[in-house]
Amino acid sequence: MLNFRKDYVALNLPSAVGDASSSRGWSKKSLWRWWNQLSRFQRSIVYMLVLAACLTILYYISGNRPIGSTSNGPLNVGMNKDHVTPSLALYSPKKVQPVENSIPKAEPAEKSYLKNDTVNKNNLYDKRDNFANNIDQIHSPPREGVKFSGPTNERQSAIVAAFKHAWKGYKKYAWGHDHLKPISGTFQDWFHLGLSIVDALDTIYIMGLTEEFAEAREWVATSLHFDVNRDVNLFEVTIRVLGSLLSSYHLSGDKMFLDKAVDLGTRLLPCFNSDSGVPYSDVNLATRKAHSPKWSPDSSTSEVTTIQLEFRDLSRCTGDPKFEESAAKVSFHVHGLEKSDGLVPIFINANTGNFRSYSTITLGARGDSYYEYLLKQWIQTGQTMDYLRDDFIEAMLGVVKLLTRRTSQNKYLFIGELLAGGRDFKPKMDHLTCYLPGTLALGVRYGLPQEHMQLAEDLMVTCYQMYAQQPTFLAPEITYFNIQEGTTGDIYVKTNDAHNLLRPEFVESLWYMYLVTGNQTYQDWGWQIFQAFEKYTKVTNGYTSINNVRNPLSTRPRDMMESFFLSETLKYLYLLFSDDPHLLSLDKYVLNSEAHPLPIYDT
């Protein structure tokens, strides 16, 4: 007969436990005897209970450290007894060699950045005392709104008329959709976010179009929802939608725009949940799942480094540092990567945080706005984050050294590309690159090397020739340059590159150059370009991009009006023709890559 015994665990405590008659409790001998009576399993339980108690005590001790302390001791960057100055670049940086022609800036101790090697490298954004509660007193973004009076001359009036013509067609055929197809009288959706409405908000406001602004504001308030089960591009939605919502909030003082911006910014944050902190390129706004682009494991360098202005401003408006923390870390990470004389490859891997080996170096597509946001972040933060300024200056030296050439006949200066990781030079320049003269002029206005102005002026001549040498007086998307000595001709355009998408980059530079120099030639160039838009791209229901700038009799319209035509191209033309150079003051605002003005802070 088999005997079955039930296994069990018994924890027998001696009667001495809790015995009130004993003044000393257990003796050492009785404790040892009790311990020896325990099974191995029972002892393991006791060990676990003791360990859990210790961890709990440590948790509460660490949770009560003073704000501004780190695991290695007190955080003393820009800190005094009563106040913690926000430092957005608190990592210990890679040592950067001094850059020729850099302008030293004397700063008070509380604005000294990147000079303390003991800071907490897990916290880029230094906390403030009562930061969230005191944000209004700290930054005071405008709440009452800024007033604009509308056009003051014939040229400005012509730009407003062009905008109203485009708006009328969009409202009739594409209202609530991303883009108007003005020839077919239909629409195109990219992200299903009403891009043309949102992107144009501050253009409408600056032009003083009260009726159009009211109807756009109503659509945003009632119909713009971000719970969209669709992947969107982090960069495009940040510069077009988040940037415009923030700008509209600052200009109008309407908190509804800020509330929408907070909702959107929160949905975009999962992009930063990569192993390196370099964001993934895409995210589903409804599920909040982020991933790399479907066509590649890498993100575009320009895209991951052209979101910082917007996320920083969102933190400054709300008092919540998480937005700025996430985006600012990316800039500092890229700052520490190896470069070619300050120039960056156009692809970066979100998981490894490294550039793709042997990828192209260009100031055109996928590289352009990295350099733009180096300068503009420095301006946005009151010229305090000097590693950004120095990276920009170093990069411009690299541009001159590695990328600039002159054409064989008329010696036009252009910026080419380096292929195969810098081994082969290609005499090709995207129209996108024509943003650079304006950015250089903006930097000179803020004290950067005067040599940058000569580079800007030379590039402006070349960009103008890209328009003037085409029969339509409209620039192609891509231009090639002749650098073979002894040959004639400076510029040639390939058939597949002859399209014009109504892009803003050159008129953007015209505005900056005019503000900095006062040279009215830049206004006249802008008027010539606008007249070409009117002649070759205006159709019954709006404006259309065209496929061929080389033949006025066969422009082959593409039937597409992208949101940046309303947001950037017409806005920059309107500002360019203003009688008031302070209509949108560069002392108060820095414009993001989609021409949305955001306030300049002092830190």
Helix, strand or coil for residue 413?
Answer: strand
Q: Which two tokens stand for residue 474?
A: 């409209």
Cα dihedral 243, 248, 251, 254, rounded to 10, equals: -130
Contacts of 590 (CB under 8 A, 6+ apart): 309, 376, 379, 380, 597, 598, 600
Q: How far is CA 101 from CA 385, 444, 513, in A?
A: 18, 12, 21
Residue in 282, 417, 490, 505 annotated catalytic: 505
Distance CA 594, CA 418 (A): 26
Residue 147: which region, alpha, beta or left (left: phi > 0; alpha: psi -120 to 50)?
beta
Catalytic site residue from 477, 490, 562, 594: 477
Contacts of 224 (CB under 8 A, 6+ apart): 193, 194, 197, 198, 260
3-state SS, residue 561: strand
Task: Find how far residue 396's CA is from the centre of its chain.
Answer: 20
Structure tokens at 269: 């944050």
Q: Provide the token pair at 390.
A: 């120095």
101 and 393 in contact (C-beta within 8 Å)?
yes
In the set 236, 391, 430, 594, the catalytic residue is 236
CB-based burial label for 115 (10 Å; 0-12, 13-18, 19+): middle
Alpha-carbon distance 488 to 310, whole Å? 46
**Residue 368 annotated in active site:** yes
Place of tokens 């990567």: 337
Tokens of 540: 């019954």
- Note whether 332 and 93 are within 8 A (CB): yes
Kindly state the greatest CA–CA separation across the chain.
Answer: 112
Rg of the chain in Å (alpha carbons) = 30
Q: Which two tokens stand for residue 71?
A: 């695991």
The first and second tokens of residue 569, run together, are 């191209």
Respond yes or no: is residue 505 known to be catalytic. Answer: yes
Q: Which residue of the set 368, 372, 490, 568 is catalytic?
A: 368
Q: Which residues are known to be catalytic?
A: 236, 368, 477, 505
